[in-house]
Amino acid sequence: MVYLTRKCEFSASHYYHNPEFTAEENQRVFGKCANLNGHGHNYTLEVTVKGEVDPKTGFVVDLKELKEILNREVLEALDHRHLNKEVPEFFHQIPTTENLAIAIWHRLQNKLNVAKLHRVRVYELPDLFVDFYGEA
């Protein structure tokens, strides 16, 4: 079994707000991220897939295909978007890094027919990232 990781970047804006919370609660729980005018990040996404090396090609996965799936399923939907307003997963969910990693996993899971998805890692900042392994 070999693990392969593909890295890509996207930029998006968001804010954190739970409509069931009072204004004070939103402020207390989400701090600066509660500003409803939003703010943005340069996200780094690392997608790790795993599989046996194909003896014919020497590949676990054809990187070109993986790149196309990533572009189509993730980057086109998220890059230079406002997550709360333009990405359906976040109409009713808070676009934290945790939820972003989970959303990207689900976007990829069914479309990634070329290899088995192992881990989605999303960096919101160089010193903050979330890993999701598809666990319930």
Partner 1 sequence: MKAHLTRRYIFSASHRLHNDGMSEAENRTVYGKCNNPHGHGHNYALQVTVSGQVDPKTGMICNLVDLDEAVQREIIERFDHQNLNVRAEFKSVVPTTENLSEVIFNILKQSFKAAHLEKVRLEETMMNSFEYAGGAELRI
Give the span between the Cα atoms of 69 and 64, in whole angstroms: 9
Give the span between the Cα atoms of 133 and 131, in whole angstroms: 7
Q: Which residues within the stretch 21-40 sit at the binding site for partner 1 (CB under 8 A)? A: 21, 29-31
Give the span between the Cα atoms of 111 and 107, in whole angstroms: 7
Residue in 46, 79, 86, 98 binding partner 1, rule: CB under 8 A = 98
Q: Which of 25, 68, 76, 80 is catalytic?
A: 80
Backbone phi and psi for residue 63, each to the nearest 5 degrees, phi listed first = -60, -30
Residue in 3, 39, 54, 62 binding partner 1, rule: CB under 8 A = 3
Any catalytic annotation for residue 8?
A: no
Give the span between the Cα atoms of 49 and 43, in whole angstroms: 19
Tell me the catalytic residues. 33, 80, 124
Give me the residues that bind partner 1 (CB under 8 A), please.
Answer: 3, 16, 18, 20-21, 29-31, 48, 93-99, 101-102, 118-119, 126-133, 135-136
